[in-house]
Amino acid sequence: MKFLILNGPNLNLLGSREPDVYGCETMEACLAGLRQRYPQHTLTAKQSNVEGELINYLQQAAAEGCDGVVLNAGGYTHTSVALRDCIAAIQPLRVVEVHISNIYAREDFRRTSLISAVCCGTIGGFGLDVYRLAIEALA
């Protein structure tokens, strides 16, 4: 199966960004572990700090016959109607929303997700293991 792992703003800083919240492992190390664990799947990873680029990546995944998307939309989770509309438009492509931290244990503004209602599931609060759990759910 082919999966897209798509990360939004500031997730390129994993490993150094607020390690008390996001841990010390880099996304590159996480991806290496996922590829080793799931050699039977094609895992493509993309990251952007730009909302429109995330939308383009999602539309491209749908057009190319991707089997599922693991999406950590970062701060756009709470603000992007455009991202929500894109996820709704590309269905039946399954998108799993992931969050490294438990967004419900953080600031009030992080407790609202505009994308959850159009994703097939949400996984959060388990560190970088959320990516593995999402792949398991999609596979």
Strand order in the sheet with 2-7: 42-47, 2-7, 68-72, 95-99, 121-124
38, 76, 78, 99: the active-site residue: 99
22 is annotated as an active-site residue: yes
* Residue 99 annotated as catalytic: yes
Residue 132, sorted as left (phi over 0), alpha (psi -120 to 50) or beta, turns out to be: alpha
Pick the catalytic residue: 22, 57, 76, 131?
A: 22
Q: Which residues are identified as catalytic?
A: 22, 99
